[in-house]
Structure 1
Amino acid sequence: MNRILIIALMAFMPFVISCNSGNKKSEKETASNDVWEVDFFDDFDTFNPDNWQDQRIWVNNEEQCYVPDGEYGTREVSDGTLKIKVVNIGEKIDCDNMDKHGNQHPETQYVAGRIVTKNRKEFVKGKWTARLRLHGNGEASMFPAWWILGARNNEPPVQEADENVCWPLTGSGEIDIFEHHGDHQKDKYTTGAIKSLGECDKGDWRSLRTDIPATLNEYHEYSVEWEGSDLVFRLDGKEVHRNVGQGDEYPEPMFAILNYAKITDSPMEGEWVMEVDWVKHESRK
């Protein structure tokens, strides 16, 4: 009787081991899955000044003048979305935008919107995502962008004592989540980090970035997340680019930027629009 019982138990043991092994594997897989917690979300039912402020700045020799408070319709919230625009107003006006060296933007007939979460919503690492689309794409001079920047950046507006770090040094590093260059990128966008060359105003714009095909006039989710030491760039949740080892280069709090620029002097008529459904930041639990 005992021998029969032992034989029966031995026959049953592989099933028990198999079941236990499966459970352990599931537990391990569950433990390795990312669990995200949303700590900032704006779905643009209105323009919330607790989340965003206008940024009036002259960079990259851009042709447009950034204007505040949605002047000329450059920043509009309606029907549950944000519209950031470049507008040709048909006559040149004075522009008060300054670069960080104190130079003033020349007169221009192009005005635009640029908003930032600077000194409102700033986060260390995690995951930034925006759902957005362009109205049209591929026209010369188009330069819309969704990106993040180190919170100690020394470009206007300088509002806190520690905002004294020159781009793109640590504390003022740049990561471009979505950037469209209309002159040569119809149905494409650029994504990736800017590599710091260790000196003020010295950045490698290209080596860490890549071009991704996309139907830009349809809504997509554009994101970047820190995964260990890597930066992972996703389109609609699918990985499309990875900057291996670059995540450690951005230990600082960063703020988000949504802007639409006109990068060259090619003529434009009417307005260009980037429509944003929502923006969020998540942290790992």
Structure 2
Amino acid sequence: MGRPYYCYMLSFAFLGISLISCKTENENNNVQTNAQSTVWEVDFIDEFDTFNPNNWQDQRIWVNNETHCYVPNGEFGTREVSNGTLKLKVVKLNDKRSCDNFDKHGKQHPDTEYVAGRIASKNRKEFIKGKWTARLRLSSSGEPSMFPAWWLLGARNNEPPVEEPDENICWPITGSGEIDIFEHHGDHHKNRFTTGAIKSLEECDEGDWWTLRKDFPVTLTEYHEYSVEWEGADLMYRLDGKEIYRNVGQGDKYPEPMFAILNFAKITDSPMKSDEWVMEVDWVKHESRK
């Protein structure tokens, strides 16, 4: 990523081998490449041959002042599975329609001409730590209001759908913590994405969005693998298998089961230049240590 690398050799003469380990300066994060890789075992994978309700459910909620309405069952083409990929879309309609999305305080979303797709593995596929990866691409990037995302939330999150008695923890307190693997902020840049955890300030709805997150360049219209893994006490973020960022010491702050979310949001009032935006997902998987 344009940073200097520093390498050193580890020799094991009695085995007749040498290993090279490299590290790179990464501002306030001690990013490093391990000489030996962790061995992972896949315990969940969805390759989107169909939409599997045992893995995902539609999540209809109003958050972040989003200007669209999340609709169920792929209405208006907002959630489509075809040719082995999932397409989540923001779709511009010809007129405003009523929206039955509510925020966590019970306020209903105003009428809107935009609809979108959002799915979550909540109460379907939830895991403690491990490694989450998705292979995805966007149809375009850098348009104002774009906000596609691939991310995790603690399984005791109290936002809809609430299906279990223990889903009573307010974001981002432990039990409802957030880790953002991939976000694209079209209002601010093209062909860049943001990754990193939300730092909990230990109060309801009080989170630090900036301290633990960082932007990276990537060609968003091409497929890439975006992942996070718990490396000891750290959260390690990878792009196409290569470590790019690390939240040092933050991994132990997410001890709870977590579920995955994929969504395409529209977050400001800027008009869409096209009739739809698309995030295409080839597959999603979770792995645990062998």
Please, what TM-score do these two structures have when normalized by structure 1? Answer: 0.90
Q: Which amino acid aligns with 1:254?
A: M
Distance 1:164 1:272, change over 3 A: same
Higher percent of residues as strand:
2
Higher percent of residues as helix:
1
**Selected match of 1:233 from 237, 251, 256:** 237
CA distance in structure 1 between the partners assigned to 2:147 and 2:80 by the alignment: 18
Question: Is 1:172 paired with 2:176?
Answer: yes
CA distance in structure 2 between the partners assigned to 1:19 and 1:165 by the alignment: 50
Q: Which amino acid aligns with 1:224?
A: V
Q: Which amino acid aligns with 1:22?
A: L
By how many angstroms is 1:33 displaced? 3.6
By how many angstroms is 1:185 displaced? 1.7
**Selected match of 1:277 from 252, 266, 282:** 282
Question: Is 1:51 paired with 2:55?
Answer: yes
By how many angstroms is 1:20 displaced? 8.2
* CA displacement 1:151-176 (0-9 Å, x = unmatched): 00000111100000000000000000
Q: Which amino acid aligns with 1:183?
A: D
By how many angstroms is 1:25 displaced? 8.5
Structure 1 stretches of at least 4 aligned residues deviating more than 4 Å after TM superposition: 23-26
Alignment of 1:59-98 (within 5 A): 59-98=63-102
Q: Is the 8 A contact 1:54 1:116 kept in 2?
A: yes
Structure 1 segments unaligned to the other structure (5+ residues): 1-17
CA distance in structure 1 between the partners assigned to 2:12 and 2:225 by the alignment: 39
Please, what TM-score do these two structures have when normalized by structure 2? Answer: 0.89
Distance 1:21 1:48, change over 3 A: same
CA distance in structure 1 between the partners assigned to 2:95 and 2:200 by the alignment: 39
Structure 2 segments unaligned to the other structure (5+ residues): 1-10, 20-34
Question: Is 1:22 paired with 2:22?
Answer: no
CA distance in structure 2 between the partners assigned to 1:151 and 1:188 by the alignment: 29
Q: Is the 8 A contact 2:56 2:122 kept in 1?
A: yes
Say what the alpha-carbon RMSD is for the aligned residues: 1.8
Bigger Cα Rg: 1
What count of residue pairs does the alignment treat as equivalent? 265
| SS of 2:76 mapped into structure 1 | helix
* CA displacement 1:51-72 (0-9 Å, x = unmatched): 0000000000100000000000
Match of 2:271 in 1: 267
By how many angstroms is 1:90 displaced? 1.4
